[in-house]
């Protein structure tokens, strides 16, 4: 069934609710929420057929759903449309504001369409990753899942001594599997000579090991960030104020972006505190009344700013520049830490 699309403003705005099997689609209307919803299969063939029915230059929005939105997003970009992949938590908050009397796929589809119409002006369009970045994202994500399951099994089987031999075998198997994935990550960088050099420079930063440097190098090489604040925000490490009048609420991290990248930079901050330089910074923050987690988050933001300076300058990390004041004209230099 072909849907009747009409332009809203300069372009047609379309919302898509994605699951593993189906796509629910509707166009946005400024006049009503009750727009007609069409359902197609979440397959490349069905998506290509649907895209051919659209006028050029549509704005198509969907929530991030792991891997299930990728086929639609990439095919739509290839077809010349502007695509937005939204944070599900933000869309959920927006949907609640629409005064819907329930939650269904149809209501979600209409709400996402309205989100595209009203909220996408300042959103970054989706840019499909190249083969290198796509492969690296899969490897880093799968590595985390393997390590997570290994830790879970280790904890759950700790009180079963009768299985000690089998547990050792399992641990060795996990270790070999992680080593294989690490080797694949290294092989991917070996084919990208400039990226490999940049990764090696990142490794000079305290707390940055092979895995953290790979994740940060992949992030910084994919998106041209304007400044270090943008990098901090991309990792979801920027604190959000919650103030009103005289009330000063507790600040929480935005937690936007990739959760695994955020976890890795936090662990890098914890590791960096083994060095006297960052340990002194952490201890100062603790004396100011911060918790250990808060202090490590502050250090994680500092590490991201250092990484951006190392990346843009092409110079290795210089610990002697930590804390030095700079003027605005030098904000992009390695001293801006």
Mean pLDDT of 281-303: 95
Which is it for the CA torsion 243, 244, 245, 246, positive or negative?
A: negative
Over the chain, what is the mean pLDDT?
89
* Rounded (5°) CA angle 79-81-86: 125
pLDDT tens-digit profile of 209-260? Answer: 999 999 999 999 988 899 999 999 999 999 888 877 878 878 888 888 889 9
pLDDT over threshold 80, residue 336:
no
CB atoms within 10 A of CB 37: 20
Per-residue confidence band for 337, with pLDDT thresholds at 50, 70 and 90: very low
Q: Which of 172, 191, 192, 170 is nearest to 180 (CA)?
A: 172
Show the tokens assigned to 312: 């843009």
pLDDT of residue 196: 96
Nearest-angstrom CA–CA distance, 187 and 24: 40
Backbone angles phi and psi of 68, in degrees to 5: -75, -20
- Give me the residue label for tokens 């804390």: 323
Length of the chain: 337
Q: How far apart are CA 186 and CA 56, in angstroms?
A: 41
Q: Please report, rounded to a whole number, the percentage of residues in the chain having pLDDT higher than 70.
A: 93
Q: Is the pLDDT of residue 9 over 60?
A: no
| pLDDT (mean) for 71-92 | 93
Q: Which residue has the higher pLDDT, 281 or 251?
A: 281
Per-residue model confidence as pLDDT tens digits over 106-140: 999 999 999 999 998 888 899 888 899 999 999 99
Q: Are 28 and 8 spatial neighbours (Cβ–Cβ below 8 Å)?
A: yes
Q: Is 30 exposed, middle or buried (0-12, 13-18, 19+ CB in 10 A)?
A: exposed
Give the end-to-end CA distance of the chain in Å, rounded to a whole number: 56
Give the model's pLDDT for residue 324: 62
Evaluate whether 64 touches 91 at the Cβ level (below 8 Å). no
What's the average model confidence in pLDDT over 154-162? 86
The least confident of 4-13, 152-161, 196-205 is: 4-13
Going by their DSSP bridges, the two strands 22-27 and 13-18 should be labelled as antiparallel
Judging by DSSP bridges, how do beta strands 243-244 and 239-240 pair with one another? unpaired
Residue 7 has pLDDT above 50, yes or no: no
The tens digit of pLDDT for each residue in 31-81 reads 888 999 999 999 999 999 999 999 999 999 999 987 899 999 999 999 999
Is residue 202 within 8 A of residue 311, CB to CB? The reply is yes
Average pLDDT over residues 309-318: 95
Q: In what order do the strands lie in the sheet with 13-18?
A: 38-41, 22-27, 13-18, 59-63, 82-86
3.30.565.10, 3.40.50.170, 3.30.420.40, 1.10.620.20: CATH of 13-119: 3.30.420.40
Taking a C-beta distance cutoff of 8 angstroms, is the pair 1, 49 a contact? no
């Amino acid at each position: 069934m072909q849907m009747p699309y009409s332009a809203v403003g300069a372009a047609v705005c379309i919302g898509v609710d994605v699951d593993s099997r189906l796509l629910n689609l509707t166009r946005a209307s400024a006049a009503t929420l009750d727009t007609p919803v069409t359902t197609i299969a979440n397959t490349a063939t069905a998506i290509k057929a649907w895209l051919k029915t659209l006028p050029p230059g549509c704005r198509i929005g969907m929530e991030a759903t792991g891997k299930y939105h990728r086929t639609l997003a990439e095919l739509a970009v290839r077809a010349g449309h502007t695509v937005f992949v939204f944070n599900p938590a933000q869309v959920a908050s927006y949907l609640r504001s629409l005064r819907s009397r329930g939650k269904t796929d149809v209501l979600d589809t209409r709400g996402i369409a309205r989100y595209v119409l009203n909220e996408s002006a300042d959103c970054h369009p989706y840019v499909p990753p190249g083969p290198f970045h796509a492969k690296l994202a899969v490897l880093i994500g799968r590595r985390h899942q393997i390590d997570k399951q290994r830790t879970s099994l280790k904890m759950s089987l700790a009180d079963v001594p009768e299985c000690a031999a089998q547990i050792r075998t399992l641990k060795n198997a996990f270790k070999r599997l992680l080593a294989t994935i690490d080797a694949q990550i290294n092989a991917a960088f070996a084919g990208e000579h400039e990226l490999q050099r940049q990764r090696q420079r990142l490794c000079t930063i305290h707390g940055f090991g092979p895995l953290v440097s790979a994740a940060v190098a992949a992030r910084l090489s994919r998106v041209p960030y304007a400044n270090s604040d943008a990098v901090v925000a991309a990792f979801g490490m920027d604190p959000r104020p919650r103030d009103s009048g005289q009330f000063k609420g507790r600040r929480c991290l935005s937690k936007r972006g990739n959760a695994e990248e955020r976890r890795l930079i936090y662990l890098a901050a914890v590791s960096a505190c083994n060095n006297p330089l960052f340990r002194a910074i952490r201890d100062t923050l603790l004396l100011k009344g911060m918790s250990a987690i808060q202090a490590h988050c502050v250090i994680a933001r500092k590490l991201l700013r250092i990484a951006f300076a190392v990346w843009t300058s092409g110079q290795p990390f210089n610990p002697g520049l930590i804390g030095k004041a700079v003027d605005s004209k030098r904000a992009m230099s390695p001293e801006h830490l």
